[in-house]
A and B are shown apart, each in its own frame.
Chain A
Amino acid sequence: MQNIIKSTYRFITSLRCAIVLLIVLAISSIIGTVIPQGMPDEAVIATYGRDSLKAWFITHLHLNDLYHSPWFQFLLTVLAVNIILCTVEHFPKTMKLWTHEHRDLSPERLKKFSLSREFKSDFGFKQTVETIRKVLGNRFGNIKEFNKPIDGQWGCIAHKGRFSLFMVYGIHLSIILILLGAFVGSVLGFRGMMTIVEGDSDNLVRLARKNKAIKLPFTVRCDDFRVEFYENGMPKEYISFITVLKGKMEVQKARIKVNEPFTYEGVTFYQASYGSLINEVTLVLTDPEAGKSWTVTVKPDKPAFLESQGITVHVLDFREDFSGFGPAVAVAIMEPNKKPEGSWILIKFPKFHGNRIGKYRVAVEDYKTIYYTGLQVKRDPGVWIVWIGFGAFIVFLFATFYWSYRNVWVSVVHDNDGTRVFMAGRSSRNSFAFEREFDKVCAEIMRAFSMMEAEGR
């Protein structure tokens, strides 16, 4: 048992686990882009058939709402745990790098570094040491000197950017912050829709993905909705003019456009959709056999009673564009003791043979529509955590990639052959750029030597 726990822990804390998780998340994400998302279970069954394997898989594994399914959320949670544990496991190694100091400055050891130089100095021991001290001091700030690393010699260690070792933890912390922010938002916030007809007001938000609505502590009234078009017919702007009401008091007026949401008491409203409803329609009913016509005006909530014919005319629905034939209204005619009859009436094609209900030909003489606006409504108290996470992520990513822990070791040896300098360097990242920097340091020391030589003469 203990072994199982141990090996499970070891797996969860491993990079292998992280890679497996990333691959599984990537593959499931791909599935989510192929299978239509947001389709209700009933629609899936209707599309693929009740007994089909595909429908079974989709509904049981929640593939139609994959990104919000329990197993996907579980994978994300495991990833968060993995990142935290990997960080905890890895931290001592970084601490070791942070505190560790390579103190063996013998020339033999320095020569073994993949990046090392060796050159002669024509100057005395003291002057050589002085020059190197100055050059390295300028470039690296503090240097740590060892007057007697080995008998009768001088050596030093210079380093820069030791904090860069911790930057990668900043990246991981940012990811945790982002996931935390998303979690806070999903627990404490909500997201839904409101559709308000011009002139109407509402305080109920229908929640997304849930058959539920929540009540706002204030009311929103849609005063006006406008669509503007460019000359070529492309949409230019969708604008809702709204008023926030508390009880009967008007508290605030606002204009909501796409890309310009409006926030009130932590609740944000976005322009998401719009549409039009029929407000009033004037119909001409003709009885061809009798050769008579009647004109009636109908409202959706106010059917018209045509006394002479004993019928009631209702308008039920409206479409801006009915299968490419332009606007149409759904009209129904009721006669006592008869089955109601109805049809879609094409407004732009009065002669269309389908514009007929029972024995009447029906034509639309005039109609008035009214807009409704679709507002997405959101409250997300976690969004600020996400923003901080995003900012931190970018900063730490930069720091991780372009800042590194660079070390230079120097040993100056004075013996019968004269004064010799041994240098070695190592960088935690970007070894190429560091190689150039290292060459520059060496060149600078050489230049200082040659300047001294010129002065000496």
Chain B
Amino acid sequence: MSSSFVLSLVTFGWLACSILYVSLMVYRKPFLGHVAKLSAFLVLFAHTAGLLLRWKESYDMGIGHAPLSNLYESLVFGAWALMAVYLFFEQKYGNPVFGAVPSLLAFLAMAYASFSPGVDSRIQPLIPALKSNWLIAHVITCFLGYAAFGVSFGISLVYIVKKKFPHSKLASLFTDMRVLEEFNYQTIMFGFLWLTIGIITGSVWANSAWGSYWSWDPKETWSLITWLVYAAVLHARSVRNWRGMRVAVMSIAGFGCVLFTYFGVNFLLSGLHAYATK
């Protein structure tokens, strides 16, 4: 079984999970929550296996490297990180109803990676600039950050729905606002921590690859902008006591920056990070 076959199965796995999470929201039967959670863990397992298999296949080809080197691989890893972080927090807070947004995002990322003609899914050797041990540390930490912000984006959407339509059936499904708010804050802190480490590892790497730890490359600049937005959220919350709605809105704006840092910079702006476009 090849990794691309496993990963295309995983794509449909995430579709199935998002259907389960959505039907949990619609029918509000607790057993659906258990089914959704169980299948999410199963698909995550298969996803992990697919990633490891791809890693092994690259070694079989004689060009072994971690599957984190181009747009296809980063999308696949991004989807993995999103669901891994989500499931980590779901375990911690024990409420499966937030799962619809992250699993849908994971499905979309995987579907785009697998089926878009613009995305090359072949295993390619590493170009000289990527041949570094920093590759793994940098990409994993950045994506953990992005993933946590993706989860926070989902929670923020739920929070806004619940706040705007407090008597809707959907709203009655979620735990109280305080749990949502705290959950959101925790994911933002988690994301901020990893994004910071991601930027720092990238910076240390850039110092040995490009000869400068900061060169205002569009990707660097946009990750700094994203970082500034979330830094503002954290300060507003702890110093100015912003809670709930405002934090949710800013988290959505912040996730917009994350998406632009990831996709927008790749497709609209040119720079040193150009290997992530194909």
Please list the residues of chain A having a beta carbon within 8 angstroms of any beta carbon in chain B: 15, 18-19, 22-23, 25-26, 29-30, 32-34, 37, 67, 182, 191, 230, 232, 234-238, 257-261, 268, 270-272, 376, 378, 383, 386-387, 390, 393-394, 397-398, 401, 430-432
Contact = CB atoms under 8 A, between A and B. Distances in A.
A29 B221 contact: yes
Contacts of B232: 19, 22-23
Contacts of B209: 258-259, 270
B236 A19 contact: yes
Nearest to B181: A432
B67 to A, nearest CB: 17
Given A19-B232, A33-B218, A191 B125 contact: no
B34 interface: no
Given A22-B232, A32-B221, A230-B63, A258 B128 contact: yes
B212 interface: yes
B245 to A, nearest CB: 18
A378 B212 contact: yes
19 contacts: A19-B236, A22-B231, A33-B218, A33-B265, A37-B216, A67-B216, A235-B128, A236-B125, A259-B129, A259-B209, A272-B210, A376-B210, A378-B211, A378-B212, A383-B213, A387-B204, A393-B196, A397-B196, A401-B192
B229 interface: yes
A404 B132 CA distance: 37
B124 interface: yes
Contact of B229 (A26, A272, A393): A26
A29 B213 contact: no
Interface string B179-208: 100100010010011001100100110011
Contacts of B197: 394
A25 B225 CA distance: 8
B200 A394 contact: yes
A15 B128 CA distance: 44
B1 interface: no
A436 B218 CA distance: 43
A383 B216 contact: no
B246 interface: no
Given A15-B240, A272-B211, A32 B125 contact: no
5 nearest A-B pairs in the assembled complex, by CB-CB distance = A258-B128, A270-B211, A376-B211, A33-B218, A67-B216
B228 interface: yes
A271 B240 CA distance: 48
Contacts of A432: 179, 182, 186
A11 to B, nearest CB: 15
A236 B126 CA distance: 7
Interface string B220-248: 01101100110110011001100000000
Contact of A401 (B193, B211, B229): B193
A454 B240 CA distance: 51
Nearest to A25: B228
B214 interface: yes
B107 to A, nearest CB: 30
Contacts of B221: 29-30, 32-33
Contacts of A430: 186
Contact of B225 (A30, A236, A393, A397): A30
B42 interface: no
Contact of B125 (A34, A37, A232, A238): A232
A185 to B, nearest CB: 9
Contacts of A393: 196, 200
A401 B193 CA distance: 9
B131 interface: yes
Contacts of B274: none
B63 to A, nearest CB: 7
A206 to B, nearest CB: 14
A243 B226 CA distance: 44
A67 B128 CA distance: 28
A375 B129 CA distance: 14
Nearest to A231: B125
Contacts of A271: 128
A61 B196 CA distance: 30
B213 A15 contact: no
B196 A394 contact: yes
A271 B192 CA distance: 33
Nearest to A269: B211
Contacts of A232: 124-125
B210 A270 contact: yes
B214 A182 contact: yes
Contact of A390 (B186, B203, B228): B203
B19 to A, nearest CB: 31
A234 B125 contact: yes
A29 B207 CA distance: 21
Contacts of B235: 15, 18-19
Contacts of B127: 234-235
A384 B12 CA distance: 48
Given A26-B228, A272-B211, A390 B125 contact: no
A52 to B, nearest CB: 23
Nearest to A27: B225
Contacts of B177: none
Contacts of B214: 182
Interface in B102-129: 124-125, 127-129
Interface in B159-175: none
Contact of B182 (A235, A272, A431): A431
A230 B125 contact: yes
B128 A237 contact: yes
B189 A383 contact: no
B176 to A, nearest CB: 12
Given A22-B228, A390-B203, A191 B218 contact: no
A26 B204 contact: no
